Amino acid sequence: MSELNTKIYKQDDDSGIAKAVKALQSDGLVAFPTETVYGLGANALKEDAAAKIYAAKGRPSDNPLIVHIADTKAVYDLASEVPETATMLMEAFWPGPLTIILPKKNIVPDGTTGGLKTVAIRMPSHPVALSLIKESGLYIAAPSANTSGRPSPTEASHVAEDMMGKIDVILDGGAVGIGIESTIVDLTGDIPTILRPGFITKSMLEKIVGPVKIDPALINPDPSLRPKAPGMKYTHYAPKGELTIVEDKNQTKATTSDKVISLINQLTSEKEAEGYKVAVIASEDNAPLYTCNHILIAGDSSKGETVAAKLYAILRKCDSLEVEYIYSEAFNKGELGSAIMNRLLKAAGQRVIQV
Ligand code: AMP
Ligand code: MG
């Protein structure tokens, strides 16, 4: 693939949006902020344009893309069936961090859905994402704008790290608000099923549509269960150093136990004594209790949204510091606990020490 001259524009620069619209209309690639993470967009209805996303990210071709829209009417263009659960969820959570899976119409190419007969659709709430979709007049396929396997980008500089020379435009909207990807709900079966946990939780969904299931492959570590969202089977978010989560299995409150803190201190001092560069991922409240040289503060453990907002930037920071071993507290309490731990466990390759 020949090197492109990637241009970066601030979100309030109107000429940037105009350039981005033009790039999308010519089947090019544009990275843009959404409220969850930065997306890497292309025309969703053109197979050749979508193919460029896979090439730029090094993404496996069976991992389908989410189609971003700016008007609920678009759902009826893209999906062959729209059940009542879909209209209820659209009404309740769009624009916002919820993706719905529906049977696809033929206009959506197999190249966008990884060969699946279903399509993933979301209406983002970020104003830059919405203007890009509206002004281009297109539906925009957009996975996260990172190299496949790396942490998703939550700032334009993260996108630039991975995508310079590979895409046409980066729109810089500063740090995103939520920081983890959208909740994905499959509406093609009898009961709505969560395929990827996110900011919209199971209980929020159940208030609108009644009982909701969780894809068993998300909770059961049995590798023979195949997740229904193909992307969930891949290693993800992994920093270059070896990440281990240290968890107190009897812990009930958000506050991390003394046992966890002392084990992390013991492990980091052993590794530092052996000459390794080591980091700890800690909640704000515990950070002063660690002795390690590099302490990365993830937010307030009792407020999951503060942890979600910082998690990917911290995993990238581990790489820029070139740390070789990383120990993290578990952030499994509260409404966002399962969404955060889903990402952290993947980043750790499921490596957990229980105390
Ligand atoms: P990303 O946008 O990088 O967060 O990745 C999109 C996620 O949506 C991946 O995990 C995909 O596997 C999932 N996805 C997209 N389309 C579908 C679909 N039709 N059925 C199930 N999962 C999907
Ligand atoms: Mg992704």
143-187 confidence digits (pLDDT tens): 999 999 999 999 999 999 999 999 999 999 999 999 999 999 999
Ligand 1, atom 9, lies closest to the CA of 231
Buried b (16+ CB within 10 A) or exposed e, 15-25: ebbebbbebbe
Ligand nearest to the CA of 39: 1
Cα 19 from chain centre: 26
Residue of the CA atom closest to atom 2 of ligand 1:
143
pLDDT at residue number 225 = 82
Residue 108's nearest CA partner among 50, 52, 179, 187 is 50
Q: Which residues are placed with Cβ below 5 angstroms of ligand 2, an ion?
A: 143-144
Q: Which two tokens stand for residue 66?
A: 């989410």
* Residue the block writes with tokens 């241009």: 7
Return the ligand 1 atom nearest residue 144 CA. Answer: 3
Report yes or no: 204 and 96 within 8 Å, Cβ to Cβ: no
Q: What is the pLDDT of residue 250?
A: 78
The preferred substitution site among 67, 101, 186 for testing ligand 1, maximizing ligand atoms within 8 Å of CB, is 101
Q: At what angle do helices 337-347 and 304-320 cross, to 10 degrees?
A: 10
Q: 148 alpha carbon to ligand 2 midpoint, in Å?
A: 7
Ligand 1 contact via 120 beta carbon (within 6 Å): yes
- Cα of 341 vs centre of ligand 1, distance in Å, is 19
Angle at 52 between CA 34 and CA 194, to 5 degrees: 45
Structure tokens at 39: 């997306």
Structure confidence at residue 256 (pLDDT): 72
Task: Kindly report the pTM of this predicted structure.
Answer: 0.95
Per DSSP, the residues of 226-283 read PPSSGGGGS--S--SSEEEEEE-TT--SSSPPHHHHHHHHHHHHHHHHTT--EEEEE-
pLDDT tops 70 at residue 288: yes
Residue 328 CB-density burial (10 A; 0-12 exposed, 13-18 middle, 19+ buried): buried
Q: What is the pLDDT of residues 275-285, one digit of tens each?
A: 999 999 999 99
Contact in structure between 280 and 296 (CB atoms under 8 Å): yes
Q: Is the CB of 39 under 6 A from ligand 1?
A: no
Token digits for 304?
Answer: 């999951």
Pick the atom of ligand 1 nearest to 196's CA.
Answer: 10
Q: Beta strand 169-172 with 294-297: parallel, antiparallel or unpaired?
A: unpaired
Please tell me whether residue 11 adopts helix, strand or coil conformation. coil
Determine the atom of ligand 1 nearest the C-alpha atom of 99.
Answer: 8
Peptide bond into 221 cis (omega under 30): no
Lowest mean pLDDT among 51-55, 89-93, 233-237: 233-237
Q: Mean pLDDT across the chain, nearest whole number?
A: 94
Query: Which 8-state DSSP code applies to residue 2?
Result: P
CB hemisphere CA count around 228 (13 angstroms): 24
